[in-house]
Structure 1
Amino acid sequence: MTSFDHQRRPLVIGIGGTTRAASSTERALGFALRGAEAAGAQTRLFGGTFLHSLPHYAPENPARTDEQLELIEAVRHADALIIATPGYHGGVSGLVKNALDTLEELRTDERPYLDGRAVGCIVTAYGWQAAGSVLTSLRSIVHALRGWPTPFGAGINTLETRFDSVDTCSDPKVVDQLATVGQQAAQFALAFASHRTPVAASVAGAQNEAARNEAQPARLLHAV
C-alpha cells in the first residue's frame, strides 16, 4: 500500500525534451515520472514532440491553440510538476522556456502560475559546468512562477551517462537520482494537499466566528 491509497492520487505533470525524438532529456524525465508513479502518483508527459507543436507564446495575442490550451489545463489541475531541459549555451532551452512562458495564462487563477506546487528539476548537458549552472537557472524560473523546487534536483552529464532506450540508463546512480526527483515531487504534492485542507477549515471557522461576534451586539441592542 502506498501513502496515497487513502486519498486521491496526486497528478504529476512532466514537461521536457528536445526537438530530437528519444532525447536523453525526455528519457531522463521518463525515469523521474516512473519514480513519482512508484510513490503513488498518476503522471502525464508533455514531451519534445508536443512542446515543438506549441507556437511562440505571444501575450498580446489572446488566441490560443488547442495544444496551448491542453498544456494550460493540465498544469492547472496538476498537484506537482517535473521539468527537464537540456543545457544550451548555459541556459534553459527555448523549447522548454516557451512552454513555461505559456503558463502566464494561469496568472489570474486561484492558484496563480505554479503556486502551491512542488516542482522537480532535471538538466542534461554535455559537461558538468552547464549541468550545474542551468539547474540553478531552472530553479530560479520555478521560483519566479511561485513554484517550490524539490530539495533534490538532478544534473546529468550526458558525456558520461547514456540512455540507450526508454527504460535503460548506463549509470544506476543516475537512475536513483531521477527516481528521487519523482518521489519528492509526489510526496510534497501530498504534503501540500494535507496542509491546505486544515488551513481552509481553520479559515472558514474563523470567518464563521467573526460573523457570530458581529451579530451578537445587534441582538443585545434590540433586546434593550
Structure 2
Amino acid sequence: MIQDKPLVLGIGGTPRRGSSSERALVISLKAAEDEGARTLLLSGAELLLPMYMPGQQQSDQASRLLAAFRECHGIIISSPAYHGSISGLIKNALDYAEELRTDTRAYLDGIPVGCIACAGGWQAVGQTLAALRTIAHSLRCWPTPLGAMLNTSGALFDAEGNCTDAATRRQLETVGQQVIDFVRMQSRGRLGAHSLSINTMVQP
C-alpha cells in the first residue's frame, strides 16, 4: 500500500559524479528511506537526455524517466545554480513531464516536491530555489514547506559524501522527511474521504 512503501524519486546533480547537488540529494533520499519510502535516484549521466521536443520518439533513458514520473508518489529535485537559475540538465529533465499532460494524473498533479538548491553564494542559491518552486507549481506539485539552500563556497561534504555541516544536514534530512510525511497525510486524507462517502451512502 502507498502508506507502507511510497516511491520517492530523486532528480539532480550534474554530469560530474559526486557533485554537491548529487550528494545533497542522496542525503535527502536517505532520510525518506529511513521513514519507510522506496527511493529511486536519477542523476548525472542518467539525465543526459536529448533536448525535449513534444511528440518525439523517446530514448530509453527518457522512457525510464517518464515511467518514474508516473510511478512516484513524491519527488526531490536538487539543482546547482548556473547563472542565477537551475541548470539546463535539470530543466530539460523536468520538461519531459509535458508528456504526462494527458495522463489521468496530469503532469505531476498533487505530488509533494522537495527542492534543494546549491550555489557558491547566497544570492544565486535563493534565486535557484525560487525557480525550482515555480516549476513545481507549474507542474501542479506541492513544494514542501522547507527548501534546502546550500552555500557551497565552503566545504560541506567529506570525500565519502557525508555532510560535515550539522545545520545543512538537518535541512536536507527535513526535506526528505517532509516529502514522505506529505505523501502519507495525503493518502490518509483520500482514504478518509472515501470511507466517509461510503458511510454516508449506507446511512438509513
Q: What is the TM-score with the length of structure 1 in the denominator? A: 0.84
- How many Å separate the matches in 1 of 2:104 and 2:197? 16
Question: CA offset at residue 167 of structure 1?
Answer: 3.8
- How many Å separate the matches in 2 of 1:166 and 1:42? 23
Match of 1:215 in 2: none
Return the letter of the residue paired with 1:59: P
Match of 2:13 in 1: 17
SS at match of 1:12: strand
2:189 paired residue among 166, 191, 195: 195
Question: CA offset at residue 164 of structure 1?
Answer: 2.5
1:93 paired residue among 70, 80, 87: 87
Counterpart check, 1:27 vs 2:2? no
- How many Å separate the matches in 2 of 1:107 and 1:201? 29
Question: CA offset at residue 174 of structure 1?
Answer: 0.6
Question: Does the Cα contact within 8 Å between 1:35 and 1:182 map onto a contact in 2?
Answer: yes
Match of 1:84 in 2: 78
- How many Å separate the matches in 2 of 1:35 and 1:166? 17
Question: Does the Cα contact within 8 Å between 1:161 and 1:169 map onto a contact in 2?
Answer: no
The alpha-carbon distance between structure 1 residues 165 and 49, as it changes in their structure 2 partners (threshold 3 A), is farther
- How many Å separate the matches in 2 of 1:93 and 1:152? 21
CA RMSD of aligned residues (A): 1.9
1:149 paired residue among 143, 151, 157: 143
Counterpart check, 1:58 vs 2:58? no
Question: Does the Cα contact within 8 Å between 1:12 and 1:42 map onto a contact in 2?
Answer: yes
Number of residues of Structure 1 aligned to a counterpart in Structure 2: 202
Question: Does the Cα contact within 8 Å between 2:4 and 2:36 map onto a contact in 1?
Answer: no
Question: CA offset at residue 60 of structure 1?
Answer: 3.9
Counterpart check, 1:169 vs 2:163? yes
Q: What is the TM-score with the length of structure 2 in the denominator? A: 0.92
Question: Does the Cα contact within 8 Å between 1:117 and 1:192 map onto a contact in 2?
Answer: no
- How many Å separate the matches in 2 of 1:27 and 1:117? 23
Question: Does the Cα contact within 8 Å between 1:30 and 1:166 map onto a contact in 2?
Answer: no
The aligned runs of 1:180-219 (5 Å cut-off) are 180-201=174-195
Return the letter of the residue paired with 1:56: M
- How many Å separate the matches in 1 of 2:198 and 2:101? 25
Match of 2:153 in 1: 159
Question: CA offset at residue 67 of structure 1?
Answer: 0.9
SS at match of 2:40: strand
- How many Å separate the matches in 1 of 2:147 and 2:122? 14
The alpha-carbon distance between structure 1 residues 40 and 104, as it changes in their structure 2 partners (threshold 3 A), is same
- How many Å separate the matches in 1 of 2:42 and 2:173? 18
SS at match of 2:153: coil
SS at match of 2:124: helix
